[in-house]
Amino acid sequence: MEQYFVLQNGVKMPRTGYGTYKCTDGSDGQIVRMALEAGYRLLDTAAAYENEEHVGKAVRESGIPRKEIFLTSKVWKTNLGYEKTKKSFEESLERLQTEYLDLFLLHWPKPASDTENWKELDRESWKALEEFYHQGKVRAIGVSNFLPHHLEALMENADVRPMVNQLELHVGYLQEAAVQYCKSWGIQVQAWSPLGRRRVLEEPAVVGMAEKYNVSPAQFLLKFLLQQNLGVIPKASSMERMRQNLELPDIEITEEDLCFLRCLPQIGWSGEHPDLERVAPQGS
């Protein structure tokens, strides 16, 4: 399997990356350095994760040339708007101690579920991202947690189409309508929380199929998404699991098994939705 996706502007993005959300709590970037040692070359962070300094430090101390690492960050939903987005971007660069980002995203389409002027805020933020892109400060721009109606509103006045959309995607929560919409526009979809929660990893159907293909449940869940050309950014805290998630066996899941898994009842949802108030996660 190819190791990269080619985005609509020709930029190559690793198919598998390392999600840094909560990974640096109390570790000063040690786990991020471990991920780089394990072979990850895409690191996904965000202003809201409050770990950009640690991620930047890990990149610098790794000895790996900056151009070989695909670095993603995001502007938080309370900083939507042209000026706030510009400020957030520059602060991310400073914390990461880098002159450019490989990918910069709008983290959520709305500051709150009841925000009325979200379309205007998104368009203003996107204008700032387009400027960063044209200035060469970021190699690709995109969004996160944007559903079709959010993307439609954004693209009405956009000069540059979003290149990536990060969505919560895993067996039991596949957001098929959003994924198909993105594919129709050439927007590369990348899955956050690709392993779901414990409930997904312990789902009998998943466990049984993983045994059938002679892989771990986590490897099977990642392969399930990658085989459908969806990027993945799993988290792990041990070198063994990091390598297992990155070095997947060369298996091909049958179409029958893919369809079965895509039609399972909803399980493992985080409780996060851009248009709704947050609810307790399922099977955490």
Task: Tell me the catalytic residues.
Answer: 49
Quote the CA–CA distance of 162 and 140 in Å, as a whole number: 8
Residue 187 pairs with which residues in a beta bridge?
Answer: none
In angstroms, the CA 229 to CA 141 distance is 19
Structure tokens belonging to residue 34: 């471990």
What is the C-alpha separation between 156 and 146, in angstroms, rounded?
14
Per-residue CA distances from 85 to 56, 172, 178, 197 (Å): 20, 33, 25, 31
Is 130 within 8 Å of 160 (Cβ atoms)?
yes
C-alpha closest to that of 189 among 221, 139, 232, 133: 232
Contact in structure between 139 and 163 (CB atoms under 8 Å): no
The CA-CA-CA angle for residues 25, 30, 33, to 5°, reads: 130
Give me the torsion for CA of 205, 211, 215, 221, rounded to 10°.
0
Of 11, 271, 256, 237, residue with least CA distance to 136: 11
Write the DSSP string, 157-219.
S-SS---EEEEE-BTTB--HHHHHHHHHTTPEEEEESTT--HHHHT-HHHHHHHHHTTS-HHH
